[in-house]
Amino acid sequence: MYSSALGATSGQTTAYGSRMFVYEVVGLSQNTDNDSLDYPIRRSGSVFITVPYGRMNQEMRRISRMGGRIVSIQPVDAETPLKSTSNGSSTAKVAQPQASNQTKKKRKSMTQAKTKIPTNIYRQKSPYVGKCIENYALVAEGGSGIVQHVTFDISGGDLHYLEGQSLAIIPPGTDAKGKPHKSRLYSIASTRHGDKVDDKTISLCVRQLEYEHPETKETVYGVCSTYLCNLEVGADVAMWGPVGKEMLLPDEEDANIIMLATGTGIAPFRSFLWRMFFENNPEYKFKGKSWLIFGVPYSANVLYKDQLEEIQTKYPDNFDLTYAISREQKNSEGGRMYIQHRVAEQAEKLWTMLQDPKTHLYMCGLKGMESGLEEGLRDFASKQGVEWPDFVKQLKKEHRWHVEVY
């Protein structure tokens, strides 16, 4: 677990993992942000703070709040301890290891370091209780259904996550048999730093489930989705996780990302795109090409429409946006426009991108998306002398095929 008390003092000798870094900080002042630390903060001299790779951005902001300035950042190898200075001062110096040629070849830059995947920090039997701080509608007038963007404050615990993971929500109450309601999983719609980029929140994109009972013909509403869509700001919510490794965003900054989404399947891709284009991350600067093909019934159901089109306008070299609006657009045969029709229209461009080993393909949304993709690309692949099932098998082997459907 990450601890905020990370200062190094004279004579301390500690071993660190390969994904730890040391900040040399000057100018820290005592305030409410650091009163709980177990070492004094002085205006003079340097303080050395070890930071896990996944928490670097958060620690930078914390240091800034304390009035400090980072003068250097150094990776710490497992065999590299903090050593005190020879003059006996209370500050510490990071010994620079004499790495072998083999070690130098294997060492990756900060932006290329592999991120540790958090899973089940909290569990169903001992969930974290977050507080709803935001709940607003995403469907514009004229759209179908109810979809809400719900944000929770998680600053009181150690719940942290990565883009592409899911969160389990435990709805209150019991079912018809008197048993507690089962948990429901939702794709996380925010980046690892949260919508406010302060590492204190997590957001979901939730559609209220609504269907007709096959026997009674009565309208049935989903238990958990209805609970979340009607949640009031200030309400406590039991949650656990995070879970999932299938949909993670690659660490490589020059990766190409193809995203196919229907409805609330946009959630993980919102987290991807916000990390790529809206956050100013010192540890991640996206340099690749991303492409979202988004299927919805009406224009009013294009979730996060303004932000998606803002990205398209500001970053035309790095982001393409394609809509498949089934009730408003026609395919080449005059029928409704679905994702598979857009895929067929763009088959050559998609196929070319997929030949690049840096390209990853993601799908999230309704079941049947995989067959829709096959329908759109199978014939084109065949013309290239490639059998589609063999090609998919190869993508899976290379960990470039990512699917989450429901």
> Which residues form the catalytic set?
186-187, 364, 404, 406
Prior bond of 297 cis (ω within 30°): no
Angle (nearest 5°) at CA 227 between 241 and 295: 75
Q: Are 54 and 116 in contact (CB under 8 A)?
A: yes
Which candidate, 132, 128, 127, places its Cα nearest to that of 230?
132
Q: Are 283 and 200 in contact (CB under 8 A)?
A: no
The β-bridge relationship of strands 210-212 and 219-221 is antiparallel
Sheet containing 69-76: order of strands: 46-52, 20-26, 69-76
